[in-house]
Structure formats: structure tokens, C-alpha cells
């Protein structure tokens, strides 16, 4: 039976260990792409992913493979993102698989995200096949890494394939292991249809395209189906597979991975994680849904041009469709007008959404500084969740404030342990544990406020350890902290979008740095602009932007016309990202400046 010849698997790895390169080699080896079509990192299809060298959206591809035993197999490779912000997407794609290749760099060894990914794979009961990659590197030490996989992860690594995705070594062995060790899908072909939506995409012509894994039964063109969570029914207009380009088929049967189109015009009618069933012969119960992940970082997104507001809403709705972790709701700011409060998994996630809105939807944005969610216990007994510093009640009404904490594991070579501990200390961390992984690597564990991590912790960690540290974290809950709200006044008026929440001990320092930074960033205006940082009614720092002395264009009169045009062009460029706050022009960078302040 065909079902026994299907293998659904993912590749998991710490970032940069070679997952995308290995996926490319596998595509090449199975002949899924002609040479002409072959371009590096096919699975990383979004422009942004290519530029940043990261994988954000999961993609899948169906590969025919003739094994050494002479049998033809169908391998469905489902790509997963590697960054710590995207754990949720990893677990979504893993739920569609029976096995995972665990790629470990032969020089770097097991890293923090190697561990995190292994836990996710184990949660999904996957068969894990270790692959030791980059054995071509002079610094490769495959035997040490094999030992690490056994000691740190507890997997039997005696059969781990030694591979070089770059030079194409070990690819056949890997595929043979997939065929031999990853179980075939176990669903019942006669049972009522159950298909899991693991991703989706909006197409202007076809409507919502759902990416599905058929768990039981089969799905055909013309079939009437029901979405079990929303109860909405549709007629299937198209099913197909990714080969790797979309290829229409009459039917997807049990165990298969592919796509379904059903003239679904409303983005809200399909949910990632929902189960599709037959409308006439529905299944009794839906498949276990995905764990819903709450966003951890919030910021305001405002169109630079307020007439883009509706387009921005539409863009967010479309992005939300295949990004279950993105949240947004309308908000208004005194300074910035109408916009949205958006929730993200982390800073990278936030940056990517922002860039996609600007590039794919062509909407210039002003983004406010990110904030975590604080719990405010008021003196009258009320407990508030504050995701926007503006909504912080006045201090006399606050009993105490709690902030989210994470447990961070940092793996680092011996020599940098001091640097890492110092960094954690300045980020208000509480030391938990330190353990030697081998003779020269250490796992350092700290509890840290999430707010400190979302700022520039990762960048500082990387630069402080010359890129050698790897890092992963998990939420552990809330703890009381001495936090205060800092307000910023421009020209005597409080600018809500510049407010931020800060630990008391750091407040003066940050306030001072912030006003200095603002003075640098805000261009001179026709009049003098005082900048003040205040806590309650107390001014903690003050700077003044002096007035512009003369019109820059004046000196061009009678002079070089092209120079004048250039100046105007340049001003227009700058204007794009300026927002008039009261009568002061404030550039985008000012709203984010609070991030670069340690």
C-alpha cells in the first residue's frame, strides 16, 4: 500500500548548523529540482529569509526516492525555522511528521537550540536521527560531537551519519536512514477524514490555501468539508502536493502532505491547528490542537500616513493567517493617531513582521519601543495586565508590579564564563546554576527579566563572546519588581508613544541616556525644543534641541539647481519616516531608541 511508502520528516538544528544547506542537497539528490531550478536554499523562499539567512515560515516539499532495496518511497520534507523566537512554528511543523533529522555542527557541537528542538521533537513523539554535519571543516571533531549527543541529549548516536551538506557527503546514508527508521504514517484510510492544517497562505485569486497533513481518510476535489473549530463548510476546489512547485491532484490520501483550496475568502474561517473533516461523515473529535502560544513582546504599529490605516489592518489580517502567534488590536495614541497594538514572540519576530508590512504591502510604519506584559496589583485590589506603558496607572494607585521572568541557558566556552555572568548581572539576572559540559564548555543558567532580554541581550551576548555563546530561554512566570514609568515630554507635552517602564535602579541612567539620544535623533526645528524625562511629576533629565538658524535652501538660491533638487530629495526621504508629534517632527528611530541604552 502507498501509505507504507510515505515518510514525513523535518530537519531540526541550532541556527547555522546547516539545516537549509542539507535540505538543498536532499532536494538535489532526489532530483526534485532540475539544475536550472536549483537555487541555493530553495526552502528559504521569502526574500527576507534569504537576506537574513534565517528560516521563518515552514515550507514542505514532496520528494520521490528510490531506496537501495529497490522500492520507491515518497519523502515529505517539512522545513522548520531555527530561531528561538519561532519555537511555536517548529512545533507546528513537527506535528505533521513522524521523524526528524537532528543536524549538529561537527565543530560547534550541541548548542542551546539543539536541546530546545530535541525537546519539541520528543513532545511530538518523533523518531530522531542524529546527523553530524560539516565534517569537511578542519576544526570538525565528529567523535567528540557524537559523545556530546549521547551525554547531553541521551540519544544513541552510534549510527549518526557523518555528513557534509556543503560537499554533498552522507546524503544517501541520511535518506536510507529516513526510509528504514522513520515510521510510515499510521492513520486509517477507511475512517472519516481528519486532516490537520499546519500552515496557510492567502492568495488573491484562490483565497485561503491551507497546507495540510491527512491523518485519517482522504480528501478529494469536489468533496464537502467542514472546519471542526469554526464549523464552516466548503467545497474542495483543488488538492495537490508540493513537487516542489504546487501540483494539482485528484486526491490526497492518508498520511500525505499537501495543500487544499476551497474558495475560502474569509481569512478567519480557517485556523492553523484546526482539523478538516468530511461534512457528510464527520469525525467524532478533532485532532489535538496546537499549543496556543502567547505573544511575549508588544509594540504599537502606526502608519506614517494615516490614510493607510485600513490597508494596515488588512495586511495584519493576512499575516495573522499563517502566523498564529501574531496578535493585534486597534489602539490610539495621542502622538501617533490610529494604529494597532501588536503582540510578538520576540524582537526578531517583530522586526520581520514590520519589514514584511513595509515591503510586501508597501506601508511605511512607525513602530514604538517593544514592551513586555506587566501585572499591576492596584491598591483597590484590581489586577491589571499592562502591555502598553501608557496604560500604567499612577504610582499612588499601585500596590506592586510584577514582570515576566525567563530561565535562560547559555552554553559558552570556559574563557567567556566571566563575561556572560557579568552581562547577566547587569541585566538584573539571578544566578541559578553552572555546569561543565566537557573540558572547555559550560552551561550557565540564570533567571532574567524578559524585559532585559528583549532589549539587546542577545546582541551583547554574541559580541561579548565573539559569537561563541548559544542561548535559549523559557518563561518561568512573574516576579515582583520595583518598576516605574518614565514619561517623555517634547516641548512641554507628554508623548505617550515614548513612555517606557524601567527598573527603579536604572531609571535615572536610562532617562539621561534617552534624552541625550533623542536630542541627537530629532532634527532641529524652527524653534527651540526642550526634551524632559519624568517619573510622576519629577523631571529626571533634560536636554534642549536648539532652533534651526536659517533655511537650508536659502543658500542655494541663484546657485546650483541640481544641488538644490538633491537637498529637497533628501528631505523628502527623511520625511517618509517622520511623524509630526504636536508641532515637533520626530523620526522613527526616536521611538526605538530606548532599545539601545546600556
Binding residue positions: 16-21, 133-136
CB of 101 to ligand GDP, least distance (A): 11
Residue 300: HSE in the Cβ half-sphere, 13 Å Cα cutoff: 29
List CB contacts of 558: < 8 A, sequence separation 6 or more. Answer: none
Point out which span in 51-59, 63-71, 212-220, 388-396 binds Mg ion (CB under 5 A): 51-59
* Nearest-approach distance from CB 103 to ligand GDP, in angstroms: 7
A 10 A CB-CB count for 233 gives 13
What CA–CA distance (Å, rounded) separates 351 from 341?
14
Q: What distance in Å separates the CA atoms of residue 420 and residue 469, rounded to the nearest whole number?
A: 9
Q: Which stretch binds ligand GDP (CB under 6 A): 131-139, 283-291, 298-306, 522-530?
A: 131-139
Inter-residue contact 531 to 519 (CB < 8 Å): yes
> Beta-carbon neighbour count of residue 583 at 10 Å?
12
**What's the CA gap between 281 and 266, in Å, rounded?**
24
Among ligand GDP, Mg ion, none, partner that 17 touches (CB below 5 to 8 angstroms by kind): ligand GDP
Q: Write down the least CB distance from residue 549 to Mg ion, Å.
A: 52
Chosen residue from 5, 50, 52, 166 binding ligand GDP by CB under 6 A: 166
Of residues 91 and 270, the one with the C-beta less far from ligand GDP: 91
Q: Where are any strands of DSSP class E within 221-379?
A: 224-227, 233-235, 238-242, 246-249, 251-252, 257-261, 275-278, 297-303, 327-333, 337-344, 365-367, 374-378
> Can residue 17 be called a binding residue for ligand GDP (CB under 6 A)?
yes
Query: Cβ(586)–Cβ(579) under 8 Å?
Result: yes
Smallest CA-to-CA distance from 17 within 138, 142, 102 is with: 102
Q: Is 10 in the site for ligand GDP (CB under 6 A)?
A: no
Coil vs helix vs strand at 440: coil
* Cα separation, 260 vs 280, whole angstroms: 18
Position among 4, 47, 51, 136 found at the interface with ligand GDP (CB under 6 A): 136
* Ranges within 46-65 binding ligand GDP (CB under 6 A): 53, 55
Query: In whole angstroms, how close is the CB of 430 to ligand GDP at the nearest point?
Result: 31
Contacts of 455 (CB under 8 A, 6+ apart): 595, 597, 598
User: Of these, 3, 15, 327, 564, which contacts ligand GDP (CB under 6 A)?
Assistant: 15
33 vs 450, beta carbon nearer Mg ion: 33
Q: Count of residues binding ligand GDP (CB under 6 A)?
A: 18
Contacts of 372 (CB under 8 A, 6+ apart): 296, 297, 298, 387, 403, 404, 450, 451, 454
What whole-number distance in Å separates Cα of residue 128 and Cα of residue 110?
15
CB-nearest residue to Mg ion: 20
| 470 vs 431: CA distance, rounded Å | 17
Please say which residue, 16 or 89, places its beta carbon nearer to ligand GDP: 16
Q: Which is nearer to ligand GDP, 166 or 206 (CB)?
A: 166
Among the listed ranges 161-169, 218-226, 478-486, 579-587, the one in contact with ligand GDP (CB under 6 A) is 161-169
For ligand GDP, the closer CB: 55 or 367: 55
- DSSP, collapsed to helix, strand or coil, labels residue 166 as coil
Rounded to a whole number of angstroms, the minimum distance from the CB of residue 60 to Mg ion is 15
Cβ proximity to ligand GDP: between 164 and 409 the closer is 164
The interface partner of residue 99, options being Mg ion, ligand GDP, none and the CB cut-off 5 to 8 Å by kind, is none
> Residue 55 or residue 91: which is nearer to Mg ion going by CB?
55
CB of 174 to ligand GDP, least distance (A): 12
Q: How far is the CB of 19 from ligand GDP (least distance, A)?
A: 3
In the region spanning residues 67 to 126, those forming contacts with ligand GDP, defined by CB under 6 A, are 82
Q: Binding to ligand GDP by residue 134, rule CB under 6 A?
A: yes
| C-alpha distances out from residue 207 to 194, 264, 367, Å | 22, 5, 29
CB of 433 to ligand GDP, least distance (A): 28
Given 32, 58, 165, 257, the residue binding ligand GDP (CB under 6 A): 165
Q: How far is the CB of 469 from Mg ion (least distance, A)?
A: 20
Binder to ligand GDP among 16, 98, 199, 308 (CB under 6 A)?
16
> What's the closest the beta carbon of residue 304 comes to ligand GDP, in angstroms?
33
Q: Report which DSSP code applies to 457.
A: I
When asked if residue 20 is in the footprint of Mg ion (CB under 5 A), the reply is yes
Question: Binding of Mg ion at residue 322 (CB under 5 A)?
Answer: no
Q: In angstroms, what is the minimal distance from the CB of 82 to ligand GDP?
A: 5
Please measure the distance between the N-terminal and C-terminal CA atoms of the chain and give it in whole angstroms: 62
Q: Is 55 in the site for Mg ion (CB under 5 A)?
A: yes
Give the separation between CA 545 and CA 209, rounded to whole angstroms.
52
Numbered residues of the known binding site for GTP: 16-21, 133-136
| Of the residues 48, 67, 137, 421, which one makes contact with ligand GDP according to CB under 6 A | 137
Q: Rounded to an integer, what distance in angstroms lies between the CA atom of residue 156 and that of residue 174?
A: 16
Binder among 8, 21, 60, 368 for ligand GDP (CB under 6 A): 21
Closest CB to ligand GDP among residues 44, 98: 44
Residue among 308, 400, 323 nearest 358 (CA): 308
**How many whole angstroms separate alpha carbon 283 and alpha carbon 287?**
10
The β-bridge relationship of strands 430-438 and 441-449 is antiparallel
409 binds Mg ion (CB under 5 A): no
Looking at the Cβ atoms of 25 and 485, the one nearer to Mg ion is 25
Judged by the rule CB under 6 A, the positions of this chain that interact with ligand GDP are 13, 15-21, 53, 55, 82, 133-134, 136-137, 164-166
> Which positions lie near Mg ion, rule CB under 5 A?
20, 55
Amino acid at each position: 500500500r502507498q501509505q507504507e511508502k510515505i515518510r514525513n520528516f523535518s530537519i531540526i538544528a541550532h541556527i547555522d548548523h546547516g539545516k537549509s544547506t542539507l535540505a538543498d542537497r536532499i532536494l538535489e539528490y532526489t532530483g526534485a529540482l532540475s539544475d536550472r531550478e536549483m537555487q541555493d536554499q530553495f526552502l528559504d523562499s521569502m526574500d527576507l529569509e534569504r537576506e537574513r539567512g534565517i528560516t521563518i515560515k515552514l515550507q514542505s516539499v514532496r520528494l520521490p526516492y528510490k531506496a537501495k532495496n529497490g522500492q520507491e518511497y515518497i519523502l515529505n520534507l517539512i522545513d522548520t525555522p531555527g530561531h528561538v523566537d519561532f519555537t511555536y512554528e517548529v512545533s507546528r511543523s513537527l506535528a505533521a511528521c513522524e521523524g526528524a533529522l537532528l543536524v549538529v555542527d561537527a565543530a560547534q557541537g550541541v548548542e542551546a537550540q539543539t536541546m530546545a528542538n530535541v525537546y519539541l521533537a520528543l513532545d511530538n513523539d518523533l523518531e530522531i536521527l542524529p546527523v553530524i554535519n560539516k565534517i569537511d571543516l578542519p576544526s570538525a571533531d565528529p567523535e567528540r560531537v557524537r559523545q556530546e549527543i549521547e551525554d547531553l541529549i541521551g540519544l544513541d548516536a552510534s549510527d549518526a551519519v557523518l555528513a557534509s551538506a556543503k560537499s554533498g557527503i552522507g546524503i544517501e546514508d541520511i535518506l536510507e536512514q529516513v526510509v528504514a527508521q522513520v515510521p510510515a504514517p499510521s492513520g486509517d484510510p477507511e475512517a472519516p477524514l481528519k486532516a490537520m492544517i499546519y500552515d496557510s497562505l492567502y492568495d488573491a485569486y484562490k483565497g485561503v490555501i491551507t497546507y495540510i497533513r491527512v491523518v485519517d481518510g482522504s480528501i478529494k476535489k469536489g468533496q464537502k468539508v467542514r472546519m471542526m473549530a469554526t464549523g464552516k463548510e466548503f467545497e474542495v476546489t483543488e488538492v495537490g502536493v508540493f513537487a516542489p512547485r504546487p501540483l494539482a491532484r485528484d486526491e490526497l490520501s492518508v498520511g500525505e502532505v499537501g495543500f487544499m483550496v476551497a474558495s475560502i475568502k474569509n481569512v478567519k474561517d480557517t485556523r492553523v491547528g484546526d482539523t478538516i473533516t468530511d461534512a457528510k461523515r464527520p469525525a467524532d473529535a478533532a485532532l489535538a490542537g496546537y499549543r496556543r502560544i502567547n505573544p511575549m513582546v508588544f509594540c504599537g504599529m502606526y502608519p506614517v500616513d494615516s490614510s493607510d490605516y485600513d490597508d494596515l489592518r488588512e495586511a495584519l489580517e493576512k499575516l495573522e493567517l499563517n502566523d498564529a502567534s501574531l496578535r493585534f488590536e486597534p489602539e490610539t495614541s495621542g502622538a501617533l493617531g490610529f494604529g494597532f497594538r501588536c503582540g510578538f514572540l520576540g524582537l526578531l519576530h517583530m522586526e520581520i513582521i514590520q519589514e514584511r508590512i513595509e515591503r510586501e504591502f508597501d506601508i511605511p510604519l512607525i513602530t514604538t519601543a517593544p514592551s513586555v506584559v506587566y501585572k499591576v496589583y492596584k491598591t483597590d485590589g484590581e489586577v491589571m495586565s499592562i502591555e502598553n506603558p501608557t496604560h500604567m496607572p499612577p504610582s499612588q494607585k499601585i500596590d506592586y508590579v510584577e514582570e515576566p521572568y525567563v530561565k535562560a541557558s547559555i552554553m559558552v566556552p570556559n574563557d567567556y564564563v566571566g563575561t556572560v555572568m557579568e552581562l547577566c548581572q547587569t541585566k538584573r539576572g539571578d544566578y541559578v546554576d553552572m555546569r561543565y559540559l566537557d573540558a572547555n564548555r559550560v552551561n550557565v543558567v540564570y533567571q532574567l527579566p524578559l524585559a532585559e532580554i528583549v532589549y539587546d541581550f542577545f546582541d551583547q551576548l554574541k559580541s561579548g563572546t565573539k559569537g561563541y555563546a548559544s542561548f535559549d530561554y523559557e518563561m518561568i512566570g512573574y516576579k515582583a519588581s520595583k518598576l516605574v514609568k518614565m514619561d517623555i515630554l517634547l516641548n512641554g507635552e507628554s508623548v505617550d508613544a515614548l513612555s517606557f517602564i524601567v527598573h527603579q535602579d536604572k531609571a535615572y541612567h536610562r532617562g539621561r541616556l534617552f534624552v541625550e539620544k533623542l536630542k541627537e535623533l530629532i532634527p532641529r526645528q524652527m524653534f527651540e525644543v526642550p526634551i524632559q524625562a519624568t517619573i510622576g511629576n519629577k523631571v529626571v533629565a533634560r536636554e534642549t534641541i536648539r532652533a534651526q538658524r536659517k533655511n537650508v535652501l536659502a543658500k542655494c538660491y541663484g546657485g546650483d539647481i541640481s544641488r538644490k533638487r538633491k537637498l529637497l530629495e533628501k528631505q523628502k526621504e527623511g520625511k517618509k519616516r517622520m511623524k509630526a508629534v504636536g508641532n515637533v517632527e520626530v523620526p522613527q528611530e526616536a521611538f526605538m531608541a530606548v532599545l539601545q541604552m546600556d
